[in-house]
Amino acid sequence: MPVNRREFLSSAAALAAASSSPLLAAQPGAPASPRRRYALVGTGGRGSSMWGKGVKDKWGDTVEFVALCDPNAKRAEVVRDIIGVTCPVFTDFDRMVKEARPDVVAITTVDVHHAEYIIRALDLGIDVITEKPMTVDEQQTQAVIDAEKRNKRKIIVGHNMRFAPAHVRIKELMLSKPVGPIRSVDFHWYLDTSHGTDYFRRWHGIKAKSGSLWVHKATHHFDYVNWLLDAEPVQVQAYGGIKRYGSAGPFRATNCRPCTHKTECPFYWDMTKSPSAMRLYGGEVEKADGYLRDACVFRPEITSYDTMTATIKYTNDVILSYSLNAYMPIEGYSLAFNGDGGRVEIRDYAKQPFEVPSDLEVSVIKAFGTRTKVDIPTVEGEHGGADDALRNLIFRRPQVPDHLKLPDSRAGAMSALTGIAARRSCEENRPIAIADLVRF
């Protein structure tokens, strides 16, 4: 029987407009509560916007900014002005906790430092919101799990991708089992030479800082699939290489601004033409710690893979075929769920140099039967409305069905461990079992 629109009109996914979604609603009849004391740890681009100014402007009635903490005090001072708050700035976490007494901290530092701040916050009796990835290796993951066990505090992991209204609709579709039991998944992510290249200008290009794009970027994608399948990874076999950036490139420099190859390099970026980048990372801020926001994408220090593929087996015996390439002429993803009764196809057209009928196409293809397109809501806002939905869940706490609950430490661990296992598989040229990495 052809799939029709009525089959998907349930729960949050029934609402095409963000303003009417339960993800963006206040708790009905909930009594007013005092603002929680809120500290931001890490004041780079994501911290200053998503967890800084964005929170202050839209959810400032639920939290009170009591501190900003960053090893670079100059940047923290700049971000304090950007957010529009008057709270003190700290470079030492323990001193910040002692003097500012936050109830909750949002951790948006360089990825490798997430775990140390999560653990310290939990041990000091503070709830944690952490950007993904929660951790970058199995030792960190185990330490966070152990810290949560010995403390009665809460970890929320910022997997915003789940909460875009379009993705909520897809989740509701999958819950309806439109093609019966799922047997395999095809998932291919495309980063173009704007978005993809920019990772290699920054600290993300260094595996020791980001865990590689297997962890920093693909963690998003693994959480998305884990959530859609309602399953967890069991084993990962992966391959990866540096094919376009790092030592594979033709030029060498420290960073773009003094580079002698400006006219030849296809990835030259004039940082001075970006007021926001110069404010956050240039001038006195740059002098304070020496971090170069426009680092050469061909510097030999780059260790993160730009070309990746993996096969992942899940607890429900589903097999996922995944790839990520960071130098494509297009941006977006292709995702398909193959079942006994057909195939669900999802194609996200984030950016490309040609016209497309719509930014996101979702179809249900019945085995030897019809192809039916699914209506998908379009919502304005960062990441298709996902950022607002996630923050509203955290700060307004509306009632939502179980499949829209906030990602916890288990979700954060499983998504990160998928990438960690993939990275180890690349390095060791063997399949990696998730159960061999941590004990829950």
pLDDT along the chain (440 residues), means of 10: 34 37 54 83 97 97 98 98 98 98 98 98 98 98 97 95 96 98 98 98 98 98 98 98 96 97 97 97 97 98 98 98 98 98 97 94 95 89 90 96 97 98 98 97
**CA quadruple 398, 404, 410, 415: dihedral sign:** negative
Distance of alpha carbon 254 from alpha carbon 238, whole angstroms? 31
pLDDT score recorded for residue 432? 98
Does residue 275 have a cis bond before it (omega within 30 degrees)? no
Query: HSE of 304 in the Cβ direction (CA atoms, 13 Å)?
Result: 32
Q: Is 219 exposed, middle or buried (0-12, 13-18, 19+ CB in 10 A)?
A: buried
Show the tokens assigned to 86: 């008057």
Show the tokens assigned to 21: 């979604």
Closest to 325 measured CA to CA, from 164, 209, 412, 217: 217
Closest to 336 measured CA to CA, from 345, 324, 327, 328: 345
Distances (CA, A) of 432 to 138, 202, 220, 348: 12, 29, 20, 30
Beta pairing class for 331-339 and 319-328 = unpaired
pLDDT score recorded for residue 379? 79
The rounded Cα 38 to chain-centroid distance in angstroms is: 21
Q: What is the pTM of this model?
A: 0.93
Backbone angles phi, psi at 307, to 5 degrees: -135, 120
Closest to 257 measured CA to CA, from 270, 276, 274, 275: 270
